[in-house]
Amino acid sequence: MKILLTALLLVAPFANAMNAVMYQPQLRDMTVSDAQWQSVLSKLKGQGIDTLVLQWSRYDGAFRDGESRVWLERKAQLTTASGMKLVIGLAADGQFFERQKQPLPVLENYLNRLRADDVSVAKRWVSVLGVQSIAGWYISSELDDHRWREPQMQQVAQSWLNKSRLSLQAVADKPVAVSSFFAGNMTPDSYSKWVTTLSHSGVKVWVQDGVGTQVLSDTERALYLQAPSAGQVIELFRQDKQAKTFKAVPAPAQYQQKWLSTPVPPGQDRVYFSLRYMSAAKGVLAQ
């Protein structure tokens, strides 16, 4: 019996792998009413989505306070009330990809500030929702395969994630996740080792599949996606490579439906990116 119980305990975390969609809150979304939001949630549940991941709940000054914060907190409350699980994305810095290029001593101080900002936001969410309504934390800073190629840099990232996990779990003991993406700057084997290094922090690493950005071929991407991640971010957009700023359209409906009808692999989170490109949000969230 003891052996069986141990086996069940080992299996339990894998049974709770999520079938999630990520939502990027934008100030322009504040025209979305409670009724519209509840309709979107109902459609998502009908498609088998069980979790909503906020990519961030503060983006520079957006959603920091005032009407925008109240609006987002209300939508979060409606999400948990609907029976969906909610993973809270924390503080996003719009200059992260520039600031991550800073010299190492400056970078370490910057990462400590990001951690402090995340903890501050997490405390606010606990006061708003209560611990039981929060399914996890999401660190909004995405880690690429360029800036973090050197072993010393990888150790810095691992240390930062480990400290962030401990700090966040002291606020509310929930799983912590972060995402990573590749663009061919590491070999597939090096990237796999990089994901493993990040995972040693105790933070779940979700790898973006790269279909939407179209930087690599399907064959190349398949090699990188062999990395031992905690899950995949399925890109449901197709980027316009000619546009000077990021511009994208939804992936074909048939492609999206194929994924939605494919079971989530045991022990692997699946996170669709993003809600804005899904049929459930059509006519509600502008692209």
CA distance 87 to 175: 9
Q: At what angle do helices 66-81 and 34-46 cross, to 10 degrees?
A: 40
Q: Residue 67 is encoded by which pair of tokens?
A: 């009407």
Residue 287 neighbours by CB under 8 Å, 6+ apart:
248, 249, 250, 276, 277
Angle between helices 151-171 and 188-199 (to 10 degrees): 30
Mean pLDDT by 10 residues, the chain (287 residues): 38 65 98 98 98 98 97 98 98 97 96 98 98 98 96 96 98 98 98 97 98 96 98 96 87 97 95 98 95
H/E element holding 236? none
Domains of the chain as residue ranges with CATH: 18-281 (3.20.20.80)
Report the Cα–Cα distance between both ends of the chain, in Å, rounded: 54
Which DSSP string corresponds to 23-81? Answer: E---GGGGG--HHHHHHHHHHHHHTT--EEEES-SEETTBTSSHHHHHHHHHHHHHHHH
Bridge partners, residue 86, by sequence: 52
**CA separation for the pair 109, 105 (Å, rounded):** 7
> Which pLDDT does position 237 carry in this prediction?
97
Residue 82, preceding peptide bond in cis (omega within 30° of 0): no
CA 14 to the chain's CA centroid:
18
* pLDDT at 6 (0 to 100): 35
pLDDT the model gives residue 173? 98
Alpha helices in the chain (DSSP H): 2-15, 34-46, 66-81, 96-99, 104-129, 151-171, 188-199, 218-224, 253-260
Q: Which residues, at least 6 apart from 125, have a Cβ–Cβ distance to it below 8 Å? A: 57, 76, 88, 134
Q: What is the reported pLDDT for 14?
A: 41
Residue 193: count other Cβ atoms within 10 Å of its Cβ.
Answer: 16
| pLDDT number for residue 16 | 65
What's 137's DSSP letter?
A: E
